[in-house]
Chains A and B, each alone.
Chain A
Amino acid sequence: MTSLLLRRLAALVPVTLGVATLTFAMIHLVPGDPVVAMLGENAQPADIAGMRHQLGLDRPLWRQYLTFLGGLARGDLGESISMHEPVAGAIADRYPATLELAGAGLVVAILLAFPLGIIAGANPGGAADVGAMGFAILGISVPHVCLGPLLMIVFSLLLGWLPLTGRGGLSHLILPAVTLGTAIAAILARMLRQSLARVIGADYMRTARGKGLSRTAAIIRHGLRNALTPVITLIGLEAGALLTGSIVTEIIFSWPGLGRLLISAIGNRDYPLVEGCVLVFALSYVVINMVTDLVYSAADPRIRIGPQ
């Protein structure tokens, strides 16, 4: 296990390098002059030249690349043009909000998926199955960009139960989390149902029933554990989707997270900030995937009961 962990961590380095290089390459292909955008209309040519020097934009591309990598290793991502503060600081300020939203989305997804998937899987072909899976396909099909405003209209404007936008107490978290988590809940529910339906017919289940367990207890105690492996993997895979989905969700709900920072940075042609945001998103994604890999590998040998 430890060697696996070390190997995975070691693999992290080239992936990080690849992602960072890809980000750098993309951003530095942008046309336009960031310095004039930064200093504004009254800037003197001398000021422009000075700022260009300060940002290191007058150096050859390969040197800028090395500085970028070096800064990354130290946690220094440059200074934001539009906000006049370090990029790393601006990102650190907003990252917790995105984590909160993504985490809540995951919780909502699990809370929605498990009852749906279990009910459907335990009664394959039944009315509950059809209903739950119908709900699931709807959930997969309606994207955040539609679901969010729809929930806003119903629960905030019409019913007045929840606040419309912004971050604040728990009530502010509900609509964005549901928006973010529904699609994933649907995918999880479907996977859980398939997984469970497959497992239900297995021998060890009949043994459990034979031993006197009720159907429900058998499902919960034995069936679920085996059905969970592919579901756990799926959670890991979809956790990355939570991150990218949070970008649109944050804009819809004016959630002050990293996604919103990225979009406004793009609008401001704030290159250092765009670069930093893209990098942090991508690296988070890489880390999540690595963790999923590890969890799957760790979980695997323990859950090898019954037919594969």
Chain B
Amino acid sequence: MIRGFVYCCSIALALNACAKHAPLAPPTYLQVDINVSPATLDPRFATDAISERIDELIHDGMVRADRGGEFAGDLAESIERPAPTRLIFHLRRGIRFSDGRGLTARDVKYTYDSVLDPASSSLKRAGLAEMSSLRVLDDYTVEMTTWRPFAPALAMATLGVVPAGSGFARARIGFAPPGTGAFRLARFTPDEAIVLARNPYHPHPRDSVPGIVFKVVPEATVRALEMVEGICDFTENDGVQPDLIPYLASHRDLAIEESPGTTFQYLIFNFRDPRLRDLRMRRAIAYALDRNQFVESMLRGTARVATGMLTPENWAYAGKVTRYQYDPAAAKHLLEEAGFTPGDPRLSFVYKTTPEGRRLAEALQAMLRRAGIRLEIRTSEWATFYADLTRGNFDLASSQLVGIADPREYYLIYDSKELPPQGMNRGAYSSPEMDRLVEAGDTELDPIARRKIYARVQQLAALDLPYLPLWWVDNVTVLNRRLRGFEPYPNGSLRSLAAATYVPSPARHRFDD
């Protein structure tokens, strides 16, 4: 009886296990391994990096950011600025969504309206605060007005456009409205895979990739193994663990490219705490950290020590700013000056719980310990991390800014009015000089004058240290040489996959066995 039971169970299990694996997609599709599942592929709600990167392939906005962070027309053929507060976008004709519908200005208006609709609770609503209205002038003309002359107004025009009447169920997973991009969403299984097929109405080169599968593989080791085995063709950035690069590089059919990236890793100081309001304390922390060592050893050279938020590739970058070399003696000296005894200052530290983040946290803790500062690490998963940041429930925090294009970002993070929960000035930094500068940068329409303003912002930020810049993370891509034509973007964009060509391996086993 027992034996019979065991046999039946084994057979049932075997059948179940064998039956389950229909391949995710045809073998001609490119496979990209990613480390987290996107939250949503609706451009009106996508705010995390991976959602935005995949969504870029599905939806287009009226403009998009190019490599240097400036804006070029995408759905918009031309853009006029008849008045400081008015922008006119002339849409291209003949563009269709992946379900065949033609794109008109009404779709644009619908998209923006749904983001602004309080019922949608879109986190992108705050980004449109400067917009006073969006009107349809005719079928292919859209007018955007702002409350005041707003220099980075074009940033608000990058929102991906969805067809009118798409509706929304707040943050519905697995659902994405049709887009005008190079691909359409074929299937979205959260935590497993996202399958993109070609958008039949979007022109593409003849031999280009017919589709892309984004497979969610949380472990870096498995991603590396899949690259080596040829199951996965491409992985980048968060998908590549620096320690595994030598292992990957030793395989001849893999190509590893590093290029400058815009992702900015930094520490936030909480100015609500009087100890951190003391510049000597902040400077002491800056001197106590050996950032070169971090970049060389922990990141294996896949980053550059940062001087501020903007990278040298950005049009507004100013390099002549105060820099802080590793100098533990200076750190100790400053702390003494500020009246602290060694081991006395205890600071709490929060970060987003990932294995890499934890490693950084422990390294920071050990380095600060040498200077006489005791760091208490508080672990919190992503949800509580943002809650802690919002409520100011931390002394130091580590975070990343991804995809910075326009220096307008300085206003959002440094202006004293932009306090959470609405704003992003999580450290509650307040400086009248900084306020003046970043507010001027918003309304200065002359690019040369604007550049000067932001140069002063960067100098002030380096002197006053509202954030401690850590490094700019390089773009690291690992791809199988069968993929050709991929060009990296500093912000990690995957756009060029749309024109890439790919030769699938004939003898390859895909998707399990």
Contact = CB atoms under 8 A, between A and B. Distances in A.
A171 interface: yes
Nearest to B231: A163
A100 interface: yes
A38 interface: yes
Contacts of A110: 2, 6
A171 B422 contact: no
A104 B13 contact: yes
- Interface size, A (range): 35 or more
A111 interface: yes
B249 interface: no
Contact of A170 (B14, B172, B219, B221): B14
B383 A268 contact: yes
Contacts of B384: 32, 37, 268-269
Nearest to A82: B383
B329 interface: no
Interface string A68-110: 0000000000000111110000000000000010011011001
Nearest to A43: B421
B512 A103 contact: no
A170 B17 contact: yes
Interface residues of B, number: 45
Given A44-B422, A84-B170, A164-B222, A36 B390 contact: yes
A169 B18 contact: yes
Nearest to B125: A42
A113 B279 CA distance: 67
A125 interface: no
B180 to A, nearest CB: 27
A165 B421 CA distance: 39
B481 to A, nearest CB: 22
A107 B13 CA distance: 9
A45 B391 CA distance: 12
Given A82-B383, A85-B173, A269-B384, A228 B2 contact: yes
Nearest to B16: A100
Interface string B11-23: 0011011101100
Interface in B400-434: 420-422, 424, 426
Interface string B291-319: 00000000000000000000000000000
Contacts of B2: 110, 228, 232
Nearest to A172: B512
A82 B171 CA distance: 11
Contacts of B10: 107, 111
Contacts, number: 106
Contacts of B171: 84
B512 A164 contact: no
Contacts of A32: 384
A170 B19 CA distance: 9
Given A85-B173, A165-B222, A42 B421 contact: yes
Contacts of B126: 42
Contact of B381 (A38, A106, A254, A264): A264
A103 B10 CA distance: 9
Given A85-B173, A164-B222, A37 B387 contact: yes
B21 A268 contact: no
B221 A164 contact: yes
Nearest to A267: B381
Given A36-B391, A41-B420, A170 B6 contact: no
Contacts of B221: 164
B387 A169 contact: no
Nearest to B126: A42
A6 B454 CA distance: 78
A100 B222 contact: no
Contacts of B147: none
B125 to A, nearest CB: 8
A209 B381 CA distance: 66
B13 A103 contact: yes
A40 B217 contact: no
A254 B353 contact: no
Nearest to B221: A164
Given A41-B421, A43-B421, A254-B219, A171 B513 contact: yes
Given A41-B387, A254-B218, A164 B422 contact: no
Nearest to A162: B513
Nearest to B423: A42
Contacts of B50: none
A173 interface: yes
11 contacts: A33-B387, A40-B390, A41-B420, A41-B426, A44-B422, A85-B173, A100-B16, A110-B2, A164-B225, A168-B20, A269-B380
Given A165-B222, A228-B2, A254-B222, 5 more contacts: A32-B384, A40-B390, A41-B390, A169-B17, A269-B383
Closest 6 CB pairs of A and B: A267-B381, A168-B512, A41-B390, A170-B17, A37-B383, A37-B387
Interface of A: 32-33, 36-38, 40-45, 47, 81-85, 100, 103-104, 106-107, 110-111, 163-166, 168-173, 228, 232, 254, 256, 264, 267-270
